[in-house]
């Protein structure tokens, strides 16, 4: 069994107090006006292609890493002077001191292992959502980022949208009154999982020549290669992905989480389709209890994913939509005086209900910086933080809390409707010791641990 560091309350006083709006550090080096950030990409296909591409707009790409030789060759053609690697451990070891910042855009189960190894070298980190595969990893990412004073950003690009930032300001100035309920839903899953797949495939085909399967498995427990896992289909498997909740929660719940200053829930409960040990269920509804905080009252947060046994999409109560047809994904923030409804994955666009009540409403004077440049804007804010500017808005002190809360829902799914009471600062369930065993993952020997 792998050794895990136990983080206590003291480790996270700073992390809990630091938010997207108040966090700073002293950069590890002085950057001249013409200095270029030396960038490396871990995972450079799919979303990783745009991540390292945008990072290349704000820095110089010096290294590329991917488990797929074809993907690595494509990226190498764009940056022929960058060194190429199949294993991030080799890259970070052989290029120690030559990399300033790294993007991590791998399957969820390798996010923390790669990013923690980098940050412990003082390397700044941009990591795709969800920040990690497990709750304990998210906690460790917050701690190490603070300890090393590195600039960080999670890749939930809706954070850069001006609409999201305006929505945060509106909620916090009380446009809909005290918020008592939040409802978020998604069009995921859009990949194979239960009920169609509930067990590992029996076949053991040859590993394609361009795939480094050991590097794909990474810190997870070994299993033979099969195209049921790679590419993309890994999202529906417990060992590699984080399901619909992990995939989209850090996007679609982001505006509500930030606007309502949510931190640690006190309890979580889930009902779902049949749970199996290999793949995520066909549908789930997750309910969180959040305590009063920062002058805001207790709040219920509900998450909806998949299709119900009836074939209907799993959605919030119809009356909350005020007669509108709900889209595939969105959120509803329900206050004492009205509802803020976002028919958008990112919370970037929204309406106020009842519409007649808010006719003529003028948003408050902006106090959050505006960006509006999407994915590239996220990299620009991260690069500015690396050079000593303000922290990026989805820095790990904020993104770690968001990811922790989201991933608690996946733990609850495994416990079939049981209410799990959560001690956030202590990072443990107080009424179910079995559930505590699902907060972490035991890494394979040889892979960077938390």
- Interval 232-278: pLDDT, tens: 999 999 999 999 999 999 999 999 999 999 999 999 999 999 999 99
pLDDT for 12: 38
End-to-end CA distance of the chain: 13
**How many C-alpha atoms does 368 have within 13 Å on its Cβ side?**
28
pLDDT for 28: 62
pLDDT for 4: 39
> Which alpha helices (H) appear in 106-194, and where do they start and end?
111-119, 135-148, 162-172
Q: Percent of the chain scored above 70 by pLDDT?
A: 94
Q: For 112-131, what is the mean pLDDT?
A: 98
pLDDT over 80 (residue 352): yes
Q: How far is residue 345's CA from residue 329's CA, in Å, rounded to a whole number? A: 6
pLDDT for 34: 74
Task: Yes or no: say if 258 and 20 are a contact pair by the CB < 8 Å rule.
Answer: yes
pLDDT over 70 (residue 8): no
Split at pLDDT 50, 70, 90, the class of 22 is very low
Which residue has 């850069």 as its token pair? 160
pLDDT for 32: 73
Task: Yes or no: say if 258 and 401 are a contact pair by the CB < 8 Å rule.
Answer: no
Helix axes 111-119, 135-148, angle to 10 degrees: 20
Q: For 150-161, what is the mean pLDDT?
A: 98
pLDDT for 31: 72
Split at pLDDT 50, 70, 90, the class of 433 is very high
Split at pLDDT 50, 70, 90, the class of 10 is very low
Split at pLDDT 50, 70, 90, the class of 26 is low
pLDDT over 70 (residue 5): no
pLDDT over 60 (residue 213): yes
* pLDDT tens for each residue of 366-423: 999 999 999 999 999 999 999 999 999 999 999 999 999 999 999 999 999 999 999 9
Query: How much is the pTM?
Result: 0.94
pLDDT over 50 (residue 13): no
pLDDT for 29: 74
Least confident range of 24-38, 268-282, 338-352: 24-38
pLDDT over 70 (residue 48): yes
User: To the nearest whole number, what is the mean pLDDT of the chain?
Assistant: 94
Residues 6+ apart with CB under 8 A from 149: 25, 26, 27, 28
DSSP 198: -
CATH code for the structural domain at 9-157+373-393: 3.40.50.720
DSSP 328: S
pLDDT over 80 (residue 16): no
pLDDT over 70 (residue 114): yes
**3-state DSSP: the chain helix, strand, coil percent, rounded to 5?**
30, 20, 50
pLDDT over 70 (residue 70): yes
So where are the chain's domains? 9-157+373-393, 158-372+394-450
pLDDT over 60 (residue 23): no
CATH architecture of 158-372+394-450: 2-Layer Sandwich (3.30)
Both structure tokens of 327: 């889209």
């Amino acid at each position: 069994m792998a050794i895990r560091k136990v983080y206590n309350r003291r480790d996270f006083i700073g992390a809990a107090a630091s938010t997207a709006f108040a966090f700073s550090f002293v950069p590890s080096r002085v950057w001249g006006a013409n200095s270029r950030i030396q960038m490396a990409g871990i995972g450079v296909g799919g979303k990783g292609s745009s991540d390292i591409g945008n990072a290349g707009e704000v820095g110089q790409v010096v290294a590329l890493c991917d488990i797929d030789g074809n993907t690595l060759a494509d990226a190498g053609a764009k940056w022929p002077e960058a060194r190429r690697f199949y294993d991030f451990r080799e890259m970070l070891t052989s290029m120690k001191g030559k990399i300033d910042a790294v993007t991590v855009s791998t399957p969820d189960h390798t996010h923390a292992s790669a990013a923690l190894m980098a940050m412990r070298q003082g390397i700044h980190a941009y990591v795709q959502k969800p920040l990690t595969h497990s709750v304990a990893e998210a906690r460790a990412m917050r701690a190490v980022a603070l300890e090393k004073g590195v600039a960080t950003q999670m890749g939930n690009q809706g954070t850069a949208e001006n609409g999201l930032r305006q929505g945060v300001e509106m909620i916090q100035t009380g446009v809909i009154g005290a918020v008592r309920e939040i409802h978020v839903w998604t069009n995921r899953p859009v990949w194979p999982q239960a009920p169609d797949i509930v067990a590992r495939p029996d076949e053991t085909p040859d590993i394609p020549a361009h795939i480094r399967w050991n590097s794909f498995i990474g810190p997870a427990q070994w299993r033979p290669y099969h195209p049921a896992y790679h590419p993309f289909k890994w999202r529906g498997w417990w060992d590699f992905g984080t399901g619909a909740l992990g995939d989209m929660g850090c996007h679609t719940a982001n505006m509500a989480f930030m606007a309502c200053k949510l931190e640690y829930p006190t309890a979580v409960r889930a009902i779902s389709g049949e749970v199996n040990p290999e793949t995520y269920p066909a549908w789930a509804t997750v309910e969180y209890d959040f305590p009063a905080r920062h002058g805001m009252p207790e709040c219920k947060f509900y998450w909806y994913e998949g299709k119900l046994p009836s074939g209907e999409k799993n959605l919030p109560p119809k009356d909350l939509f005020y007669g509108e047809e709900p889209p595939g994904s969105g959120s509803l923030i329900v206050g004492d005086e009205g509802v803020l409804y976002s028919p958008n994955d990112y919370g970037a666009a929204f309406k106020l209900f009842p519409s007649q009540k808010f006719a003529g409403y003028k948003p408050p004077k902006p106090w959050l910086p505006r960006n509006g440049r999407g994915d590239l804007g996220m990299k620009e804010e991260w690069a500015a933080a690396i050079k000593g500017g303000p922290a990026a808005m989805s820095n790990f002190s904020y993104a770690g809390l968001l990811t922790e809360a989201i991933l608690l829902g996946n733990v609850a799914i495994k416990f079939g409707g049981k209410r799990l009471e959560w001690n956030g600062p202590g990072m443990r369930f107080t009424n179910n010791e079995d559930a505590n065993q699902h907060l972490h993952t035991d890494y394979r020997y040889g892979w960077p641990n938390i």
